[in-house]
Amino acid sequence: MLSLHSLTRTQHAAAARQAAQLNLDEPAVIIEETDRAAHAARHAVPARAIVRRAARQRAAAEAVVQQAPAGAPQQIAQQMLDQDGWAGQFGCLDDLWGQESGWNVYAENPSSGAYGIPQALPASKMASAGLDWQSNPATQISWGLGYIRASYGSPCAAWGHEEAAGWY
């Protein structure tokens, strides 16, 4: 881990190397580059703030993992629906994702590349819900429910769109 002192020393060393690479026949360029390096050092985020932010993010991620429901994908979805106030919408979600992926966490559409239980396209969108998006049903379901909420308002509205348009 870098200390604040070593981070500052590293910034100064980088600025010195950058200045040394300049053409010494052009003093205006040297002054401009030195000023730019000094400005960057003054406005850089302190190392302590970076460490504190990383610790907060790690704690938040660990809390989410500890609260994640377990079980079969359908059980996980039911628990998440209950938490979101959509307890009566499981039938619609079951129809939707049963048709899309068969609730298979590894389902992949060979023609479009859509992936996972919610058939995300591109699949990497699910990384916003967790780094384990490729294999964790809870992560995929969480992302999928967020997508449904933002795009359709509810699982039954998404299922209605699927029935009418042939896609959601």
Tokens of 127: 């990384």
- Bin 153: left if φ > 0, else alpha if -120 < ψ < 50, else beta: left
Whether the bond into 122 is cis, omega within 30 of 0: yes
CB 15 within 8 A of CB 37: yes
> pTM for the full model?
0.60
Mean predicted confidence (pLDDT) in 120-148: 97
Counting other chains too, the contacts that 82-90 makes at CB distance below 8 Å and 24 or more residues apart are: 84/145, 84/149, 86/145, 86/154, 86/155, 89/154, 89/155, 89/156, 90/155
Tell which wins on pLDDT, 25 or 102: 102
pLDDT tens column, 22-39: 444 444 444 555 555 555
Enumerate residues 6+ apart whose C-beta is below 8 A from 86: 145, 154, 155
Q: Give the Cα separation of 21 and 73 in Å (integer).
A: 58
Mean predicted confidence (pLDDT) in 65-87: 87
Tell which wins on pLDDT, 19 or 89: 89
Would you state the pLDDT for residue 70?
79
For residue 112, pLDDT over 70 is answered with yes
For residue 66, pLDDT over 80 is answered with no
For residue 76, pLDDT over 80 is answered with yes
Q: What distance lies between CA 150 and its chain's CA centroid?
A: 16
Mean predicted confidence (pLDDT) in 160-165: 97
Enumerate residues 6+ apart whose C-beta is below 8 A from 45: none
Percent of the chain at pLDDT > 90 equals 58
Q: What mean pLDDT is reported for the chain?
A: 78
CB 1 within 8 A of CB 50: no
Q: Give the Cα separation of 67 and 90 in Å (integer).
A: 20
